[in-house]
Amino acid sequence: MIIPKLALKNILGAGLRTWLNVFVLSLSFVLIIFSQGLLEGMNQQAEEAMIASEIGGGHYRHPAYDPYDPLSLRDAHGPVPGPLAAMAEAGRAAPVLVIQGTAYPQGRLIAVQVKGIDPAQTVLNLPTAFLAAPRAGDDIPVLIGQRMAALGGLKTGDSVTLQWRDARGTFDARDAVVVQVMKTSVQSVDRGQVWVPLDRLREMTGMPGEATFVVVAQGAARPADAAPGGWQFRGQDHFLADIRAMVESKSVGSSIFYAILLALAMLAIFDTQVLALFHRRREMGTLMALGFTRGKVIALFTLEGLLNGVLAALVAAVYGIPLLSWIARTGWALPGDTDSYGFAIGERLFPRYSVALVAGTTGLVLLTTAIVSFLPTRRIARLKPTDALRGRMT
């Protein structure tokens, strides 16, 4: 126990030099946790938004449906298999019928996907109830997102001509009225999408009881048949793979930032250790004369360096916890158009600091500090006590 006590005494006795190191290191702690927390928050926020608005607990897809091939939409519809229909009836699933269409806002032509969904559904976090609101006239009620509204120059109450092909391939067109412009961070339910009541779309296309895919509610038990009617299930992991890959690629940039911060902090520790080797040689000699072995001197100086890390963690906790908690509550305002990030994130980003992140960062910083503290002290192993006492380096 003597070495830890001495090490603590020595670094506290070093005064300002110690506290400067500790402050720089604590700054690195806080900034690393903040930046990683921001990335983790962005990832989780995007995943949660996509799950709530688009993925749910996963999708059962019509066998012909390929979301990456718009041409597949022509054949990608069929009667909802019994078990899935029963789930929909119980409110644990939401069938969606998708057809290719064209919107003509203000005389312009925009290719759109027309998606039919039950206005009463609660599986997805979409304001579909607006589709069922009582209205005058027989125009098709449509729900669009803010990006689609911006693209077509549309707002709530505007009319737009909608053209589509029915089940037999016949073109048809009718006026639609925008009943609501929804604000969503999930681009894939917004850009180029027009949501209409499911029954109305089935009637418009002559596809009664049909759907392209069925969204299962989160946590809902799936049918015993793994692929009812040949409809394949795609879980959350399948849908989130792309976004996770994107976050992974963005984390490379974050890691560079992480490494620079860590290197700056370690430079301060390394510098202090190297200076200590030159300034405190006589002290090392005295310790050896008093009965310290070289190993104990190395342990003492390494521990002193490491204690900088421990103190930095404590100091970082003192100002970092309130600061980062406040940012986690109020969020971090993102500048400009967040769509360009390629993520389903809102205008404010809410960092998430997991136990693994804090413990991992602390562990990594302490480990690096220990290594950086130890490296210069290896020279002590070659130090002769007589030279040390004269203030010379062997």
| Residues forming the site for other proteins (CB under 8 A) | 2, 9-10, 12-14, 282-283, 285-286, 288-296, 384-386, 389
> Shortest Cβ distance from residue 301 to other proteins (Å)?
14
> Shortest Cβ distance from residue 23 to other proteins (Å)?
20
> Shortest Cβ distance from residue 21 to other proteins (Å)?
16
When the beta carbons of 323 and 381 are compared against other proteins, the nearer one is 381
Contact residues for 2 (Cβ-Cβ < 8 A; gap 6+):
none
When the beta carbons of 10 and 308 are compared against other proteins, the nearer one is 10
Query: Left, alpha or beta for 153 (phi > 0: left; psi -120 to 50: alpha)?
Result: left
When the beta carbons of 298 and 316 are compared against other proteins, the nearer one is 298
Contact residues for 349 (Cβ-Cβ < 8 A; gap 6+):
38, 41, 42, 45, 331, 332, 334
> Shortest Cβ distance from residue 331 to other proteins (Å)?
46
Farthest CA pair distance, the chain: 102
> Shortest Cβ distance from residue 41 to other proteins (Å)?
43
Among residues 325, 335, 247, 251, the alpha carbon closest in space to that of 46 is found at: 247
Cβ(176)–Cβ(159) below 8 Å: yes
Cβ(4)–Cβ(303) below 8 Å: yes
When the beta carbons of 8 and 246 are compared against other proteins, the nearer one is 8
> Shortest Cβ distance from residue 349 to other proteins (Å)?
46
When the beta carbons of 290 and 355 are compared against other proteins, the nearer one is 290
> Shortest Cβ distance from residue 378 to other proteins (Å)?
15
When the beta carbons of 2 and 16 are compared against other proteins, the nearer one is 2
When the beta carbons of 189 and 297 are compared against other proteins, the nearer one is 297
Report the interhelical angle of 294-330 vs 281-289 (nearest 10°).
120
Task: State how beta strands 213-216 and 93-104 pair.
Answer: antiparallel
When the beta carbons of 12 and 132 are compared against other proteins, the nearer one is 12
Report the interhelical angle of 281-289 vs 236-279 (nearest 10°).
80
> Shortest Cβ distance from residue 379 to other proteins (Å)?
16
Distance separating the N- and C-terminal Cα atoms of the chain: 29
Give the Cα-Cα-Cα angle 315, 319, 321 (nearest 5 degrees): 105
Round to whole Å and give the CA distance between 71 and 94. Answer: 23
Round to whole Å and give the CA distance between 333 and 134. Answer: 38
